[in-house]
Amino acid sequence: MSEDQEVILLKGRLDGNQRNRLARLLDMLYTPSELAKEIGFTTRQVYRVYIPAGLPHERDQKSHIWINGKVFREWIKEVYKKQELGLNEAFCLTCKQAVKMIKPERKQEGRLFYYICTCPNCGRKLARIITRGKRIE
């Protein structure tokens, strides 16, 4: 991996339903368990993943953790940005990085067109969707 590429953090990523629930968070303080219940992940994830990753939070006199919902939403969107891939790149889940597709093979299933190739680093089979719908040449 080159120096100018960002390291992608995969631990703690939210699925689609959880990302949609972020909009429900109010500009108020939540305990880690309230936040976890509201979004749909475990309280343990707050302590093991988000706080070590730099989640902004406060502690009261009794050392209880409080997290602002609006700040959490913005922090998640900043830290877990969607990565844009180049035209000749695919994302390898083993290497956790974008890799250049070497000798991609074009495939079709119904109206779904995609490329299949192998990761040059680890040999994992990679797929990159081209388009859904009308046939393109």
| Mean predicted confidence (pLDDT) in 43-52 | 93
Q: What tokens appear for 118 in the block?
A: 């192998």
Confidence of residue 21 (pLDDT cuts 50, 70, 90): very high
Domain ranges of the chain: 16-79, 89-132
Higher pLDDT, 133 or 105: 105
CATH number assigned to the domain covering 16-79? 1.10.1660
Give Cα separations from 123 to 83, 99, 100, 101, 118 (angstroms). Answer: 22, 11, 12, 12, 5
Confidence of residue 137 (pLDDT cuts 50, 70, 90): low
Contacts 24+ apart (CB under 8 A), 52-58: 53/9, 53/12, 53/79, 54/79, 58/29
Query: pLDDT over 90 for what percent of the chain?
Result: 62
The H or E element spanning position 123 is none
Is the whole model's pTM more than 0.75, yes or no?
no
**Which alpha helices (DSSP H) does 1-137 contain, by range?**
16-21, 32-39, 43-45, 69-79
